Amino acid sequence: MNPANQTLYDRYRQYILLEQGLSANTRDAYEHDVERFTEWCESEGCDVLTTDLALLHQYTEALYATDAAASSIARMLCGVRSFFRFLQLDGMIEQDPSELLESPRLPRHLPTVLTVEEIDRIKAAINLEKPEGQRDHCIIEVLYSCGLRVSEVCSLRLSDLFLTEGFIRVIGKGNKQRIVPISPAAIEEIGWWLDIRRTVDVIPEDEDILFVSLTRRKHLTRMAVFRNIRLYAERAEISKEVSPHTFRHSFATHLLEGGASLRAIQMMLGHEKISTTEIYTHLDRRFLREQVLHYFPRNRR
């Protein structure tokens, strides 16, 4: 990256760190997106500060040429839009060329949802004789019972637990806090895990983290949780594609099926917009259709 673009990039990084309140994962993604765009401009002999809509269309075509998925391209363009908004706010460009840049149209896929029986099978596939098994058993129960993101589970702190009151404090996207009810089953599992965790000599900076690696003695990574859950799902012979987020989807869907309001689900999931939560109404309709097809006499063969 040439010195002029490096200066723009460094100022942008400082802007999203200090003024945007983005999560660390979003910041990393945006920084990578901007770095990629800037390097492409240099390879094409273009000036970032004189970029126009036509050039952004060329960049989008270049992304398509890499065979990246439409969802990946849409996400990459989010970082580019953020960059140009910053340049305009900072007075370095008069017009934001990305204002009229359209993202790829994404097909609407309904997320995978597990039944309660499938969740129980996954938990039953964990060896509770091992300390790591007790920890992972607890993680799955917290993911499902509270509808948390995997990053929220990994960053959950001992000081965020209000088990006597039946709540936990969750730090979500954009560092936003929310209070989430926790089930008696999850509280019981946390108690069992805490008995084991107290025996671990955790590194000082992670002493307040709830879920830690017993070998590394530090916070558990998202990828470790992802790998472990995949392993347990395979052992349980679950044919569905299972990830930590699957338990969050299952939590929301089961609440809706049980009669919870969409607004309450929105608050518990930490969705900024109710439109994000509305995907679960589609899931609920699918569930109802399956029930009718399965149980209504006229549909039986």
Give 10-residue mean pLDDT values along the chain (301 residues).
87 85 83 92 89 91 85 87 91 89 71 90 95 96 92 94 93 84 92 94 94 93 94 94 92 84 82 74 60 55 53
For position 71, what pLDDT does the model report?
81
Model pLDDT, residue 286 = 59
Considering only the top CATH level, what class is 116-295? mainly alpha
**CA 196 to chain CA centroid, nearest Å:** 28
Q: Give ∠ CA 156-157-163 in degrees, rounded to 5.
A: 95
Q: Taking a C-beta distance cutoff of 8 angstroms, is the pair 264, 237 a contact?
A: no
User: Does residue 211 contact residue 104 with C-beta atoms inside 8 Å?
Assistant: no
Identify whether the C-beta of residue 158 lies closer than 8 Å to the C-beta of residue 172: no
* pTM of this structure: 0.64
Catalytically active residues, by annotation: 149, 173, 245, 248, 271, 280
Where do the DSSP E strands lie in 100-234? 161-162, 167-171, 177-181
Q: How many residues does the chain have?
A: 301
Rounded Cα–Cα distance for residues 67 and 102 (Å): 18
Enumerate the CATH 1.10.150.130 domain ranges in the chain, comma separated: 3-89
What are the strands, taking DSSP E only, across the chain? 161-162, 167-171, 177-181
What are residue 157's DSSP bridge partners?
Answer: 209
In CATH, the number for domain 3-89 is: 1.10.150.130
Give yes or no for a contact between 79 and 29, defined as CB atoms under 8 angstroms apart: yes
| Domain(s) of CATH 1.10.443.10: residues in the chain | 116-295
99 HSE (CA, 13 A, CB side) = 9
Residue 147's CB is within 10 A of a number of other CB atoms, namely 22
